[in-house]
Amino acid sequence: MPLVLESLADAGPLSVDLSGIVPDRVATLSPADVLRLVIRADERPEELGALFHVAGDPASGRIECRGDFSRVHWIGAGLARGEVVVDGSAGRHAGEGMTGGTLRVRGDAGDWLACEMAGGEVHVAGSAGDNAAAALPGSRHGMRGGLVTIGGDSGGLAGARMRRGILAIGGDCGPAAGFELWAGTIVVGGSVGPQPGLGMRRGSLVVAGPAPEPSVLFRRGAVWSPAFLGLLAARLDAAGFRPGGGPTVAALAGPWRQWHGDLLAGGRGELFLRAAA
């Protein structure tokens, strides 16, 4: 049986920091020890058992969060192995700094989802806020490995300063997707906001839906169907990613117009937009 954290009441702290409550940390603890773990609520220390009903086996390698967790932040942050499941929505910084394991959010996620993630998988059934898979303020690198899928929409600066890995967004995406992208791949199944790929150095940004005309800092390339997109689509289909409710293979079928940019950052990035009929 997994370790289950369940909200005790609808009313409670405005902000709860669940940092460190991951399968690795609780695996060797007794149920009583888990209840006494100290977390922060509204910037004050609180025991876990004072805020959540806790049941199940700490050694199971799986933590399930049930109830309203939209005000609970840093869920699954630093996860290295095992699985964390949120049966609803999650707050900010879910999956931050993950190196392995799997985080599943069956509702929406807040800002900074999977920021600076280095490995593992994050799957969000709903939408996410700003800065998904991005760099924290003052940091040079965002996501550095792993897979992040978002079934719905995402806010601005998705994948900002990504170093490697895959970020897939099933719905629409806000402005400056792939801002200063270093490497890795971003897929947007819907539309994308202004300035996609602004400052990108390398990597690929693929937009299946409507997109603004690239700026003068992008050079028009060929119209073709890259083989790597077929492999990428198969990988995302296997992970359960369904942009627009359909298979990824269909969403990423070509042909595509390739653009090279940002020219001020070396021009080695790839922006793929739907080719005009």
* Digitized pLDDT (tens) for each residue of the chain, 277 residues in all: 999 999 876 667 899 999 999 999 999 999 999 999 999 999 999 999 999 999 999 999 999 999 989 999 999 999 999 999 999 999 999 999 999 999 999 999 999 999 999 999 999 999 999 999 999 999 999 999 999 999 999 999 999 999 999 999 999 999 999 999 999 999 999 999 999 999 999 999 999 999 999 999 999 999 999 999 999 999 999 999 999 888 999 999 989 999 999 999 999 999 999 997 5
**Is residue 42 a part of any domain in this protein?**
no
**Is residue 2 a part of any domain in this protein?**
no
What are 141's two structure tokens? Answer: 């690198």
Whether this prediction's pTM lies above 0.75 is answered by yes
**Is residue 35 a part of any domain in this protein?**
no
- Residue 115 DSSP SS3: coil
Query: How far, in Å, CA of 207 to CA of 68, rounded?
Result: 33
Q: Which residues of 172-193 are buried (b: 16+ CB within 10 A; e: fewer)?
A: bbbbbbbbbbbbbbbbbbbbbb
Element (H, E) at 149: strand 144-150
**Is residue 130 a part of any domain in this protein?**
yes
Query: How far, in Å, CA of 54 to CA of 246, rounded?
Result: 38
> CB atoms < 10 A from the CB of 47, how many?
14
Domain range for 253: 108-274
How many structural domains comprise the chain?
1
